[in-house]
Amino acid sequence: MRWWGWGDPAHPPTLTARTLRFLGDAVGVAARPRPPVALGQVRLPPSSLPERALEALQEIVGAAGVRLDHPARVLHAAGKGYPDLVRLRAGEPGEAPDAVLYPADGAQVRAVLELCARASLAVVPFGGGTSVVGGVAPLRGEHGAVLALDMRRMGDVLDLDRESLTVAVQAGVRGPALERYLAPRGLTLGHFPQSFEYVSLGGCVATRSSGQASTGYGGVERMVLGLRLAAPAGDIQLPPVPASAAGPGLRQLLVGSEGTLGVICDLALRVRQAPRMRSYEGVFFEDFRAGVEAFRGLAQQHASPDVARLSDAAETRMSLAAAGAGGLKDRLGRRYLGLRGYGEAGCLAILGFEGDEEEVTARRRRALALVRRHGGLAVGRSPGEAWRRGRFSAPYLRDELLTHGVMVETLETATQWSSVSRLHTEVGRAIADALDAAGTPGLVACHVSHLYETGASLYFTFLARQREDDEIGQWRTVKDAASRAILSGGATITHHHAVGRDHAPWMVDEVGSTGLAALRALKRELDPTGIMNPGKLLG
């Protein structure tokens, strides 16, 4: 993974000249590219790990299991949020772990936690490092030093129960590695967040992640049947039962704990038969509201596709503008759609069905019939396939846009169906107004995805010219405006990006002061010295 951004350093560019021109016209780009500094130029504070602690850690995880070198510390200095990337690219992450640990098993994790609790060392569990909300920021809180606990050596599949369709894994296993294990066995987890290529499953569970196909497969909280959390105060081991009425939902309490209660070491996850057929296609709606009503109908009549995604008019226009010759635009040009009565307000949706051929055929027929009743126009497979091909590519594009001086950020929420359209307007306006006020008018786009019977997620993307004197301040102003609009609209501060550092100040609005006090009491019990991921989730 690139230390200053996303993905394999050898990944080819994704930003087309067409898109760059479009953005130049729309928001403006930097006169000259602004590439990241060289790795050697990244300035880190010196490691403040005491020698005695280092020796004790080496005794637990072995000499090769502790790294203090500059590249390792840089790679664990931040996640992949916008402010992370801005700071890293400038060579000024501001903070870094004093050491990076690579435990090999749960016993080592336990020993590390016990040592850290005694020695007052903060611990930041680090899976794929893909947090976009500051979830892996190496904050030391009140402690003398901070360690990144990289889970990559704990990546084994432990057991497959074919009869129950459950798989037991170490929490450090990466998404692609698990799918590679499952695929030849005809199985899939079905969890494909945009960060899929790098995520660890433990990280997904700790952050209550939802994949792009969550409408069909459920969010990760639906996949977790059992888990083991190593907390400083002891282990919590919950067996993989399908359901239980034995008191409060402790599993669901640990899902989303974001490393603040302990380290998730093992997981038991539900898997499914891998689909034999996939059908992804585009549907055009006259306007956003018609699309929302169609999606609501799909969800409430139990006719949802596995992937459902409705772009608003702005996102639709951006997609069409970005599509090259022979692609989306040629097929869906304004002329074609205009002739059919779909104008500037038109919205493109992607519906993706997976399963056996018979099942996909039947579900697709039923869904499209419903969609047509809401004025939906099926426009064929190419938009669906284009989306599928590019579904993990946005983070690559973001890096290239940063090089051209364009801020690009995403944020998301979920709300009830009766509030979707109103919230779409309010949050979109809050973002646009904040960008205007910052003197950098921008583009704001949104899509609805992750359908539930009672509501859905709204996912906003915004782009604007970076304020080169104050990228982070500019970002924070917009982010705060959006967060206020979300919470005053009665929606959740996050549907699947989690809380981390960025959303922590909003948790009191989300769960109230008594709710927050309850979570803090839980933390005090499991992590009495407060070493686990300080400064995240609970503020």
Nearer to a second copy, 348 or 485 (CB): 485
Total residues at the site for a second copy (CB under 8 A)? 90
Radius of gyration of the chain (CA): 23
Binding of residue 367 to a second copy (CB under 8 A):
no
Binding of residue 498 to a second copy (CB under 8 A):
yes
Each as own residue / partner, the long-range contacts of residues 286-289 (CB below 8 Å, 24 or more positions apart, any chain) are 286/341, 286/342, 286/343, 286/345, 286/346, 286/347, 286/375, 287/313, 287/345, 287/346, 287/347, 288/312, 288/313, 288/345, 288/347, 288/421, 288/424, 289/421
Binding of residue 255 to a second copy (CB under 8 A):
yes
Binding of residue 161 to a second copy (CB under 8 A):
yes
Written in H, E and C, the secondary structure of 225-274 is EEEEEEECCEEEEECCCCCCCCCCCHHHHHCCCCCCCCEEEEEEEECEEC
Among 84, 98, 150, 258, binds a second copy (CB under 8 A): 258
Binding of residue 240 to a second copy (CB under 8 A):
yes
Q: Which of 316, 450, 454 is nearest to 377 (CA)?
A: 316
Q: How far is the CB of 433 from a second copy (least distance, A)?
A: 24
Binding of residue 209 to a second copy (CB under 8 A):
yes
Identity (one letter) of the amino acid at 145? A
Binding of residue 143 to a second copy (CB under 8 A):
no
Among 72, 148, 231, 307, binds a second copy (CB under 8 A): 231
Give the span between the Cα atoms of 210 and 306, in whole angstroms.
12
Among 27, 137, 406, 537, binds a second copy (CB under 8 A): 537
Which residue stretch of 33-41, 123-131, 325-333, 496-504 sits at the interface with a second copy (rule: CB under 8 A)?
496-504
Applying the rule CB under 8 A, the residues between 94 and 133 that interact with a second copy are: none
Which residue stretch of 320-328, 394-402, 431-439, 484-492 sits at the interface with a second copy (rule: CB under 8 A)?
484-492
Nearer to a second copy, 42 or 206 (CB): 206
Among 235, 287, 385, 433, binds a second copy (CB under 8 A): 235
Binding of residue 496 to a second copy (CB under 8 A):
yes
Binding of residue 501 to a second copy (CB under 8 A):
no
Give every CB contact of residue 76 below 8 A, 6+ residues apart in sequence: 96, 97, 100, 124, 126, 129, 136, 138, 148, 150
Binding of residue 253 to a second copy (CB under 8 A):
yes
Structure tokens at 61: 């995880």
Nearer to a second copy, 36 or 256 (CB): 256
Give the span between the Cα atoms of 515 and 509, in whole angstroms.
10
Give the span between the Cα atoms of 213 and 200, in whole angstroms.
17
Among 450, 465, 479, 501, binds a second copy (CB under 8 A): 450
Residue 377 Cα to chain centre, angstroms: 31
Binding of residue 488 to a second copy (CB under 8 A):
no
Binding of residue 357 to a second copy (CB under 8 A):
no
Q: Which of 328, 325, 341 is nearest to 385 (CA)?
A: 328
Applying the rule CB under 8 A, the residues between 267 and 286 that interact with a second copy are: 270, 272-273
Nearer to a second copy, 48 or 237 (CB): 237
Applying the rule CB under 8 A, the residues between 393 and 432 that interact with a second copy are: 414-419
Binding of residue 522 to a second copy (CB under 8 A):
yes
